[in-house]
Structures are given as C-alpha cells and as structure tokens.
Structure 1
Amino acid sequence: MKEIKAFIRPNKVDDIVHHLKDAGFENMTISMAEGTGKFQDEEAFVSQKFSITDSEIAKLELVAKKEKVDAIVKIICEYGCTLNPGDGFIYVSDVEKVYRVKTGLKNGEE
C-alpha cells in the first residue's frame, strides 16, 4: 500500500476530487493548511495564526494499492496544474500496515 499526500491549490480541490471519485478513488481526507515557500501569490496573506506562513494550501491524502499510484498522481497533476509556480507537491510513501478501526483487522484480512 502507498500513501499519496498532495499539497494543492484550494481552488483546484473540487475538480481533482470529482475526477478521483469518477476514477473509483472515493476515500480521501482533505484539509486546509497554511504554508510558505518561494512562491508568493498576489493574494498571499500574513497568517493570524502563524507569523511565518503566507499562503493557504489544501492537503489531500489517500491510501491506495501500489499499482494505482500512477493513475492517482496523473489525475492530481492534470486537474491541479495551472502552469504557474506554486501548483504544489505530491509525496508518495510506503504504508507498512493498515488496520480497520471497526474490526482491528489489518491489510484486507476478512
């Protein structure tokens, strides 16, 4: 299993999630975050929560089988791209074990 964590523009979330769901990837977590980097959006702000951050960013997280990662990354890139600096990053990490809270079963056990 792999974890895909994408930091994307907030205005691209709806389109990306719509296409991920259409492709069968329905389980994900989406949260708003603040970040900083080289890119300065003309609508950048100085956060009232953190003195160092200057840009809102959305974080999309999902776990999928290894063979599905390329399809997920392709969708995120295709529908998240504006061709401008600051479009975001995608991280792919190994997931050692997955447990279902309801049953305590791991990695697809029945």
Structure 2
Amino acid sequence: MKEIKAFIRPNKVNEIVQQLKEKGFENATISLAEGIGKFQDEYASVSQKFSVTDSPVAKIEMVVFEEDVDSIVSIISDCGRTLHHGDGIIYVSDVEQAYRVKTGLTVED
C-alpha cells in the first residue's frame, strides 16, 4: 500500500474530491493548514496562530493500493493545476501495514 499526501491550494479541494469520488476513490482525509515557502500567494497574510506562516494550504491524505497511485496522482495534478507558482506538491510513501480499527485485521484481509 501507499500513502499519498497532497498539499494544494484550498480553492481546488472541492474539484479534486469530486473527481476522486467519481473515479471510485472515496476515502481521504482533508485538512486546512498554513505553510511557508519560496512562493507567497498574493492573498497571503500573516497567520493569526503562527508567527512564521503566510500561506493557506489544504492537505489531502490517502492510503491506497499501489495500482491506484498513478490514477490518483493524475487526478490531483490535473484538477489542482493553475499553472502558477505555489500549486503544491504530492508525496507518495510506502505503508508497511494498515489495520482496520473495528476488527484489528489488516486491510488486505
């Protein structure tokens, strides 16, 4: 299994999630965050919570089967792209095991 973390513009979340759901990828965690980086969004402002952040960002996290990674990354890239600096980044990492809380069994079982 793989974990996908995508840091994207908050205004792109709805479109990305809609496309993921239409393609059958319905399980994701979405959170709002703040970040720093080389690029500063023209609408960025100093955070009220943190003194060093200046740009809002949304994070989509998913744990998926390896064969689905390319499709999911493609959806996030295509729907999240504005062709401007600061569109975000996608990370893909290995997941050694995943267990269901309800049963304690691995996801593959």
- TM > 0.5 fold call: yes
SS of 2:98's equivalent in the other structure is: coil
Q: CA RMSD in A?
A: 0.6
* Aligned residue pair count: 109
> How much has 1:87 moved relative to structure 2?
0.2
Q: Distance in 1 between matches of 2:17 and 2:32?
A: 14
Partner SS state of residue 34, structure 1 = strand
Output the TM-score relative to the length of structure 2. Answer: 0.98
Q: Whole-Å Cα distance in 1 between the matches of residues 107 and 96 of structure 2?
A: 9
Alpha-carbon separation, structure 1, partners of 2:73 and 2:42: 27
Structure 1 residue 42: Cα displacement = 1.1
In the TM superposition, what are the counterparts of 1:1-110 in structure 2 within 5 Å? Answer: 1-109=1-109
The TM-score with structure 1 as length reference comes to: 0.97
CA–CA distance in structure 2, aligned partners of residues 19 and 34 of structure 1: 24
Runs of 4+ with >2 A deviation: none
- Consecutive unaligned residues of structure 1, counting only runs of 5 or more, are none
Could you tell me how far apart the structure 1 residues matched to 2:41 and 2:92 are?
26
Deviation at 1:108, TM superposition (A): 2.0
